[in-house]
Structure 1
Amino acid sequence: MPGTIDSYETAIGSSGLLDELREFDPRVVGTLPLGLSTPTSDIDVVCHVVDAAAFAEVVWRRYRSCDGFALYQWCSSWRPVVARFEWDGWPFELFGDPRPVDQQEGWLHFAVQRRLLALDDGRLRKAVAEHRARGMKTEPAFAAVLGIAGIRIPHCLHWAVRATRSCGPAWSACKVRRVGPHRSERLRAARI
């Protein structure tokens, strides 16, 4: 793992990031909290940013002297603000979108992946980790393991959320290969 400190949680704590950005509902997502990181993984944080200038000011004021600092705004319809920097050797990427975090693709994908891993008996995590170790990005790795390659993951998100909530027929809508030998082992009735 990158970094000069023991864990990504320590880097987040020592950076003060969650406190600095508390007004923007910061949430850590991605491979590190999923336990699927590789040596090149960064610390991804999604934020609800209605006022891009205010977000940029907070980030600029606190992190501009960090190695690798970059701050920019996308030209897409939502115009998210992105910041990158290193803290104690850990790369951070902040993603500030005007939509509430619960509506952002990064959070939704993370929530679904986390839920699928929670329902897993260990084989899904192992298979995804193997794909990741060979250089595959997280979403394509999940798609390959679950048999939904070629299907845009955002189109399957609502099915995956329904499936993890109800453990019902929505699984087959995205051609998901079940991972356990018995239905009771494949899917456990639980809520996100």
Structure 2
Amino acid sequence: MDNFSRTFEDIAYLASGNERQKDAFAVLTKGQVMERLKDFDPLLVGTVPLGIDVEGSDLDIICSCGDNKTFQEVLVSNFSACRLFRIWNTVIGSAETVLANFFLEGWEIEIFGQKKPSREQNGYRHMIVEHRLLVRYGQSLKDQVIALKEKGIKTEPAFAMVLNLKGDPYQALLKLDL
């Protein structure tokens, strides 16, 4: 594991981040969200850890669940009392996936579970590639991605547009994960 991925193993880094990161840390900690999911190797991924979130960005947590039924039971027992709680099953990239969505203290939270190890899931892999790109290209890349996101463009397509990556932006970013 490299230094880039170690950065995101524990959400404690959020406590010294920007204001939204500090707020996300407080909400996740107070709600014991990561603690309640500890048996499923939860990782916060997406725009908030990278500091490229915009108003309305949610908190995305990926989990590794060997048994979807048990994972669903844990989600229901721990989060069903949260505002607008929903849970459903779907298939993403040929993998059975459990999704839960709810609101906690003003933040929308989406929990995503697959049988694949958390660090091998695309959400984590995308975030690591995006982090490396932000470190390499700095504030200019960050500003351009945020500007596109503020116009409603999703994160991976925004990176692909700024970097002039061809084809499917999700796959193009994964190809940079060498």
User: TM-score, normalized by length of structure 1?
Assistant: 0.77
- Gaps (5+ residues) in structure 1? 1-5, 163-192
Change (3 A) 1:152 1:122: closer
Number of residue pairs the alignment of both structures matches: 157
Residue 26 of structure 1 is aligned with which of 35, 42, 47?
Answer: 42
- Which of the pair is proportionally richer in strand? 2
Deviation at 1:150, TM superposition (A): 3.3
Residue 84 of structure 1 is aligned with which of 101, 125, 130?
Answer: 101
Deviation at 1:137, TM superposition (A): 0.7
Query: Cα RMSD between the aligned structures?
Result: 1.7
Q: Equivalents in 2 of 1:95, 1:55: separation in Å?
A: 10
Q: Equivalents in 1 of 2:43, 2:174: separation in Å?
A: 19
Letter in 1 for 2:50: L
Q: Which residue of structure 2 aligns with residue 127 of structure 1?
A: 144
- Gaps (5+ residues) in structure 2? 1-21
User: TM-score, normalized by length of structure 2?
Assistant: 0.83
Q: How does 1:1-192 map to 2 (within 5 A)?
A: 7-76=23-92, 77-158=94-175, 160-162=176-178
- Which of the pair is proportionally richer in helix? 2
3-state SS of 2:95 partner: coil
Where do 4+ consecutive residues of structure 1 move more than 6 Å?
none
Change (3 A) 1:140 1:84: same
Q: Is the CA contact 1:47–1:96 (under 8 Å) kept in the aligned structure 2? A: yes
Deviation at 1:90, TM superposition (A): 0.8
